[in-house]
């Protein structure tokens, strides 16, 4: 993948995911949403609810990715440690954010009918100094190139979808070939085309079930002309009748 393309890392925080108590839904959703926004998702990393592990991952990924998104660990309970870990990774103190506190107070009263807000809920307004509230509604938290999102899938999706339009990049262009040949018959052709078109990401995905094809080949980059040229170069190297059907440019 072209390293000039804006990249992203997703850090899924949750011991419950690593111990199979909960199945992660946010990783697959983010992969699609970020791709649709023209961002290259370079890394998905699942981490326990441990400050040191999160600090290490945030510090590593923020230095080599355009954006780092976290999922989970921003609630009011003892195992919600993502915000504190991000603050430590960035070398920023935690500060209570007045606007976020007001949002939390309003939401608590709306949902419970009580104006007495428990301190653990108010601590959700303690965020790294300089945090920006982004995305509208109940906001996601952005500090430098790190965006902290909730772990609950419906909230994660809503906040990510509100945030991504501001980052939108030119889209990826994708061509797909469905072949009736096995990978052993196309490996040499794929290698030749990959060498000739290093800017086009070429993938080969075999099937061993009752699908109507044996291999799906994808060719992808942001330059539609390059995708088309790589596609034609591959077609010229395949035996007649190898392509069962195709999609894309």
Strands lying side by side in the sheet with 40-47: 40-47, 7-13, 67-71, 146-149, 140-143, 132-134
Domains and CATH numbers, the chain: 7-167 (3.40.980.10), 173-247 (3.30.70.2860)
Give Cα 223 distance to the centre of its chain.
22
Spatial separation of the C-alpha atoms in residues 27 and 46, rounded to whole Å: 9
Question: Left (φ > 0), alpha (ψ -120 to 50) or beta: where does 38 sit?
Answer: left
pLDDT for res 108: 85
DSSP 165: G
The rounded average pLDDT for each run of 10 residues, N- to C-terminus, in the chain (249 residues) is: 80 96 96 94 96 98 97 93 98 96 89 88 95 83 96 94 89 96 94 96 95 96 96 95 92
* Strands (E) located in 135-172: 140-143, 146-149
Beta carbons of 155 and 138 less than 8 angstroms apart = yes
Beta bridge partners of 220: 174, 201
Contacts of 54 (CB under 8 A, 6+ apart): 11, 13, 47, 70, 73, 81, 82, 85, 86, 89
pLDDT for res 1: 54
pLDDT for res 113: 87
pLDDT for res 249: 81
Residue 78: HSE in the Cβ half-sphere, 13 Å Cα cutoff: 0
């Amino acid at each position: 993948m072209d390293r000039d393309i804006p990249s992203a890392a997703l850090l899924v925080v949750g011991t419950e995911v690593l111990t199979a108590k909960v199945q992660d839904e946010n990783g697959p959703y983010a992969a699609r949403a970020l791709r649709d926004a023209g961002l290259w998702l370079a890394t998905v990393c699942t981490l326990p609810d441990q400050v040191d592990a999160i600090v290490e991952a945030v510090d590593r990924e923020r230095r080599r990715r355009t954006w780092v998104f976290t999922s989970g660990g921003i609630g009011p309970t003892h195992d919600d440690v993502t915000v504190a870990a991000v603050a430590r990774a960035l070398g920023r103190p935690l500060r209570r954010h007045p606007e976020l506190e007001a949002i939390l107070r309003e939401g608590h009263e709306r949902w419970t009918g009580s104006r007495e807000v428990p301190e653990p809920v108010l601590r959700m307004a303690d965020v790294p100094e300089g945090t920006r509230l982004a995305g509208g509604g109940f906001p996601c938290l952005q500090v430098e190139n790190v965006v902290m999102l909730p772990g609950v899938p419906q909230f994660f999706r809503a906040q990510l979808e509100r945030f991504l339009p501001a980052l939108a990049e030119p889209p990826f262009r994708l061509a797909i070939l469905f072949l009736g040949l096995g990978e052993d018959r196309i490996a040499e052709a794929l290698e030749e085309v990959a060498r000739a078109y290093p800017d086009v990401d070429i993938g080969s995905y075999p099937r061993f079930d009752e699908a109507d094809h044996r291999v799906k080949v994808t060719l992808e980059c942001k330059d539609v002309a390059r995708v088309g040229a790589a596609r034609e170069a591959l077609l010229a190297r395949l035996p007649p009748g190898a392509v069962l059907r195709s999609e894309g440019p």
